[in-house]
Chain A
Amino acid sequence: AQSVTQLDSQVPVFEEAPVELRCNYSSSVSVYLFWYVQYPNQGLQLLLKYLSGSTLVKGINGFEAEFNKSQTSFHLRKPSVHISDTAEYFCAVSETGGYNKLIFGAGTRLAVHP
């Protein structure tokens, strides 16, 4: 079975500062990795995903994430955040070859302050 741990429930940061949201996963099989963003009272939107190939994945809104197989991590980064990045961010995994069941972490609330 897979599990996902997001190490920080809340991350406060000032506007234009860099940010890293941490995600670790556990799985006995190969997985695909996803980051989704949720703005208040809305559904989720895909930021980026890792399927194979280059371990550095670039997504929308200037976000990127790096897959580290040895550390079973998939941390999300942005070099300079904006007020509009304030949202909840979810890391998720799905088993390769499976039916697309996503296992989500508990989420990290990013609060960007002016």
Chain B
Amino acid sequence: DGGITQSPKYLFRKEGQNVTLSCEQNLNHDAMYWYRQDPGQGLRLIYYSQIVNDFQKGDIAEGYSVSREKKESFPLTVTSAQKNPTAFYLCASSVSGSQETQYFGPGTRLLVL
């Protein structure tokens, strides 16, 4: 079965702690994305990567970091600099090109203790 997996499903962060959200895809897609979803605001792009070892900031990158060392993996770290991290985080992947469908993972809900 091809698809995108995200783990964990729920994640709790303590004050001052960095946490990492996992995203893995076996669709052989070059492009991967991280979105943040807040109630009533739709999805906002955090980071995206069009190819291995390359990534760019999206609209709300402050307080987040990513890496893309392998084609199938695009982990997101929520750093202590992100002061309001409580949200639903969605990872997506696609073939390169703006007409292409993005395929989404099931999401990780991050809560602050």
1/0 contact string of A23-66 vs chain B (CB within 8 Å): 00000000010101000011111100101000000000000000
> Total A-B residue pairs with C-beta atoms closer than 8 Å?
68
Q: A95 vs B107: C-alpha distance in the bound complex, in angstroms?
A: 25
Assess A42 versus B107: contact at CB under 8 Å? Given A90-B42, A106-B40. yes
Residue of A nearest to B38 (CB): A106
| A residues less than 8 Å from B103 (CB atoms) | 46
Residue of B nearest to A31 (CB): B98
**Are A49 and B101 in touch, CB under 8 angstroms?**
yes
B102 to chain A, nearest CB (A): 6
**Are A100 and B94 in touch, CB under 8 angstroms?**
yes
A contact set with B: CB distance below 8 Å: 4, 9, 32, 34, 36, 41-46, 49, 51, 90, 94-102, 104-107
A59 to chain B, nearest CB (A): 11
Contact of B98 among A9, A36, A45, A96 (CB under 8 A): A96
B64 at the A interface (CB under 8 A): no
**Are B98 and A101 in touch, CB under 8 angstroms?**
yes
| B residues less than 8 Å from A32 (CB atoms) | 98-99
Complex interface residues of chain B between 11 and 33 (CB less than 8 A to chain A): 31
Q: A57 vs B45: C-alpha distance in the bound complex, in angstroms?
A: 26
Residue of B nearest to A94 (CB): B98
Chain B interface bracket (under 10, 10 to 19, 20 to 34, 35 or more): 20 to 34
B51 to chain A, nearest CB (A): 11
**Binding site secondary structure of chain A:** loop
B75 to chain A, nearest CB (A): 17
Q: A22 vs B107: C-alpha distance in the bound complex, in angstroms?
A: 26
| A residues less than 8 Å from B102 (CB atoms) | 44, 46, 100, 102
Complex interface residues of chain B between 29 and 61 (CB less than 8 A to chain A): 31, 40-45, 48, 50, 58
Beyond A46-B103, A100-B97, A100-B102, 6 additional pairs, beta carbon < 8 A: A96-B99, A100-B94, A100-B98, A102-B45, A102-B102, A104-B44
